[in-house]
A = this chain, B = another copy of it.
Amino acid sequence: MGPGPVDADPRVLRAMAASLVGQFDPFMTDTMNETMALWRTVWRTENEQTFLVDGTSRAGIEAALVSLLEPGDRVLVPVFGRFGHLLAEISARAGAEVHTIEAPWGEVFEPDQIADAVRRVRPKVLAVVHGDTSTTMAQPLEALGAIAREHDALLYVDATASLGGNSFETDAWGVDVATAGLQKCLGGPSGSAPVTVSVRAAALIRARKHVEAGIRSADDIDHGARIASNYLDLAQVMDYWGPRRLNHHTEATSMLYAARECARLLAVEGMDAAIARHALHGGAMLAGVRGLGLEVFGDVAHKMHNVVAVAIPDGVDGDAVRGALLSDFGLEIGTSFGSLHGKVWRIGTMGHNARRDAVLVTLAALEQALRRAGVPVPPGGGVDAALGVYESATAGVVA
């Protein structure tokens, strides 16, 4: 019940045990095409270029940034948590001129703040984290595509922590490139990075010179245009997933099966239903921790559905409580990074763990662990508050 990675859906785990097939077997081609179609449903996009990068969510981020950014290009990163710093760091390694604006941890940006910065910096790429688990905040993105287009910038979004549990509209919001990982709301294991690329971003990436086998020296390559990575060169990865199936890496077939199953389960449930499920169980967890008398960190109106940051009560050893939850109750909740380290726990309700029983048993165990740590807690306060949310939701459905 931490901020991710979380338990994978057992159906996803079983999907990985399926037999492998050859990389150019017709079944493999069909599976790749089906996977692309299923992920278009998850991403809410018509983008033909919707595929997987074979690595963790971080590989997807780096593939997007190293493929979009040439050395010296300007990138603007609005930073409101740890993963904004990661986007800045990866962009700097790609040789970009990195500009950041920062919001205090626990807050998000107003669209005008971002628009002002875009106007000032004139970036080639506006690179934004959607949901940052380090603070639990979700940056509203609805207005950013138009802001980027108005200033001829591309919008890149890291949707790792949010996708599947919070609204995400690739096409309607004008997102050019978005990447994710399976290990948060999508119900799978880390190790595959779903990516979607708009027509204009794909054209920009394709225009960068391919470096083919036979290159002998860096001098043979146009330094400005070349993509510094072979493995994460999205121009080549798109050709691999495209109708020509040009050989690149050897697809990680078991992770492909996992990614297909994650998307299939979401498509069957329906994206709206999956997001509503995360809203419901996240709301119950929020009510529950408050029912235990705990304070919640940050601007709750902009919190992701799938994670809540809970202030560790004064005088309590946060790691000892986490340790007791794990060793005595078999439940993991998260610690925190940076300025929040030692100040909050992060409790997730995402993917396969966005379930009523998972919420209630976590609140029941947390009550016991807090009581034993000397925190005065109202008996049943957490579970009762969560059940109240569930009863209201059911009443709403009945009405």
Residue numbers of A with Cβ under 8 A of B are 2, 4-8, 13-14, 16-25, 54-59, 62, 66, 71, 82, 85-86, 88-90, 92-100, 181, 183, 189-191, 211-218, 220-221, 226-232, 247-255, 258, 326, 332, 335, 337
Q: List 30 A-B contacts (CB under 8 A).
A: A6-B20, A8-B254, A13-B18, A13-B254, A14-B17, A16-B16, A16-B254, A20-B189, A24-B335, A54-B56, A54-B191, A55-B252, A58-B248, A62-B229, A62-B230, A85-B213, A86-B213, A86-B230, A89-B215, A93-B226, A93-B228, A96-B218, A181-B250, A189-B253, A190-B249, A190-B251, A190-B252, A228-B228, A228-B229, A254-B258
Count of identical protomers in the assembly = 2
Nearest-Cβ distance from residue A53 to partner chain B, whole angstroms: 9
Nearest-Cβ distance from residue A110 to partner chain B, whole angstroms: 22
Contact partners of A57 in chain B: CB under 8 A:
249-250
Query: Is A249 within 8 A of B5, CB to CB?
Result: no
Query: Is B213 within 8 A of A82, CB to CB?
Result: yes
Which applies to chain A's interface (DSSP): helix, strand, loop or mixed?
loop
**A1 and chain B: residue at smallest CB distance:** B22
Query: Is A5 within 8 A of B17, CB to CB?
Result: no
Query: Is B98 within 8 A of A216, CB to CB?
Result: yes
A81 and B303 CA atoms in complex are apart in Å by 53
Contact partners of A216 in chain B: CB under 8 A:
88, 92, 98-100
Chain B CB count within 10 A is highest, among A181, A228, A335, for A228
A214 and B102 CA atoms in complex are apart in Å by 11
Query: Is B6 within 8 A of A217, CB to CB?
Result: no
A218 and B189 CA atoms in complex are apart in Å by 33
Query: Is A250 within 8 A of B56, CB to CB?
Result: yes
A191 and B59 CA atoms in complex are apart in Å by 13
Selected from B56, B71, B228, B251, the residue in CB contact (under 8 A) with A252 is B56
Query: Is A326 within 8 A of B25, CB to CB?
Result: yes
Query: Is A254 within 8 A of B189, CB to CB?
Result: yes
Query: Is A89 within 8 A of B230, CB to CB?
Result: yes
Contact partners of A7 in chain B: CB under 8 A:
19-20
